[in-house]
Amino acid sequence: MTNTFYDDFKAMTAEKMAGSMEDMTYAYRETRVPKAHYKKMLATGVEQVMEASVEINLIQPYISIIKQMMAENPKSFYKALLCIDAKVTISGIRTSEWEALETMWNRHRDVNDPNHATHLPKTTIDDFKAIAKHGIDQLMQDITKEDDQ
């Protein structure tokens, strides 16, 4: 079997790995990431890396429960979210607040509503996708440009 770059890479020291990673990153559209960054990341404790993994695993049950509630009764789920955000308690809900919940649910179902088919505002979803694709720095630059205009 042919020896691959990966085979050589996993045998390198952290110092050489960091340099090699810098070179690989530069080879992609001449993107410069300093060797020191990779060296720091390679020296990160396993505990820190595990924290993110544990948090991801803690979120999964919430996602499952929320999906189940949305499937079983989307109207009640939407109203519950609205009550939480508006700080309305069901035990003390007023007639006007109940009517407002009904109105908001009907508006939310309207296909002309820009937030139709989501539970968070469309701008929140768009920002999430932009950050995931381009990073927070790019989003902040775009916001600064909009403020300057």
Q: pLDDT-based confidence at 3, cuts 50/70/90?
A: confident
Q: pLDDT-based confidence at 101, cuts 50/70/90?
A: very high
Dist CA 117 CA 3 (whole Å): 50
Q: Which residue is associated with the tokens 């809900």?
A: 93
pLDDT of the residue at 47 = 76
Query: For the chain, percent helix, then strand, then coil, each to nearest 5?
Result: 75, 0, 25
pLDDT at residue 142 above 80? no
Dist CA 79 CA 119 (whole Å): 10
Q: pLDDT-based confidence at 148, cuts 50/70/90?
A: confident
| 3-class DSSP assignment, residue 1 | coil
| 3-class DSSP assignment, residue 9 | helix
Q: Per residue in 6-56, pLDDT tens?
A: 889 999 999 999 999 999 999 998 889 999 998 998 888 777 767 777 888
Q: pLDDT-based confidence at 94, cuts 50/70/90?
A: very high
Residue 38 contacts residue 23 (beta carbons within 8 Å): no
Give residues with Cβ within 8 angstroms of 19, minimum separation 6: 35, 38
Q: Write 107-112 long-range contacts (CB < 8 A, 24+).
A: 108/78
Helices 74-86 & 46-72, crossing angle to 10 degrees?
A: 120
Amino acid at 25: T
pLDDT at residue 69 above 80? yes
